[in-house]
Amino acid sequence: MDVPLKKIINSLKNHFLVAMPGLNDEIFSGTVVYICEHNADGAMGLIINQQLDIPAKAVFDRLELEQKNNQGDELIFDGGPIQQDRGFILHSTSDQKWESTIHIGDGVSLSTSKDILGDIARGSGPKDSLITLGYSSWEAGQLERELKENTWLTIPADSSIIFNTDCTQRAHAAALSIGLNLDSLALDSGHA
């Protein structure tokens, strides 16, 4: 069966979107978004470098989860402006099974069920995890338009940037992974 050319899309799933320096948006300026899904219907991702002033322990307490000492001191992340009352856990892929987990790629999975939070609170969850509230999304064709407008730099994802790089350094680390220094990018590149 022939697929119409306009329906073919190069998926950016398991990629970073790094906001270009000229992006003046209250929510997305300076962000790194990890793309969890991207197809002809649109895209969904999580901001991985904007922490909230809320420790994970507060979420564990609210959900009345049993906790081990020293669990929950890490801050949770603002994953994006959509459904900010809903939690998303980006984590290293594991042999453990949770109710709602999808494998994204490069050793990274996404879970949205309470059982993984319980395991994290007890210290028996995945090796690495990042808890977010909310997510970011683009309707069909919206992300492609933004890419044409030089809004985002697309970079293949690297799980070590998500889990082992300081939050404030993730944008620079992602850009450096393809040999770019964000500080040297012009604010208005590509426009004559």
Per-residue model confidence (pLDDT) at position 186: 56
Q: Cα–Cα distance between 25 and 77 in angstroms, integer?
A: 18
Instruction: Sort strands 129-139 and 75-78 into parallel, antiparallel or unpaired.
Output: parallel
Tell me which residue of 185, 187, 159 sits closest to 173, measured CA to CA.
Answer: 159
Q: Cα–Cα distance between 162 and 16 in angstroms, integer?
A: 10
**Each residue's pLDDT tens digit, 26-58:** 899 999 999 999 999 999 999 999 999 999 999
Chosen CATH of 5-184 out of 3.30.420.310, 3.30.1600.10, 3.10.20.30, 3.40.1740.10: 3.40.1740.10
Per-residue model confidence (pLDDT) at position 185: 72
Q: Cα–Cα distance between 33 and 4 in angstroms, integer?
A: 29
**Each residue's pLDDT tens digit, 70-129:** 778 899 999 999 999 899 999 999 888 899 999 999 899 999 999 999 999 999 999 999
Instruction: Tell me how crowded residue 2 is: count the other CB atoms within 10 A of its CB.
Output: 4
Per-residue model confidence (pLDDT) at position 140: 95
Confidence grade of residue 181 (pLDDT, cut at 50, 70, 90): confident
Work out whether the CA dihedral 51, 52, 54, 56 comes out positive or negative: negative
Residue 139 pLDDT > 90, yes or no?
yes
Bridge partners of 35? 45
Determine what percent of the chain is predicted with pLDDT higher than 90: 73
Q: Please state the domain extents for the chain.
A: 5-184
Quote the longest CA-to-CA distance of the chain: 59
Bridge partners of 51? 77
Instruction: Tell me how crowded residue 83 is: count the other CB atoms within 10 A of its CB.
Output: 13
What pTM did the predictor assign? 0.89
Residue 156 pLDDT > 80, yes or no?
yes
Per-residue model confidence (pLDDT) at position 162: 96
Amino acid identity of 35?
A: I
Quote the Cα angle for 167-132-157, to 5°: 55
Per-residue model confidence (pLDDT) at position 189: 46
Does residue 29 sit in helix, strand or coil? coil
DSSP 8-state class, residue 53? E
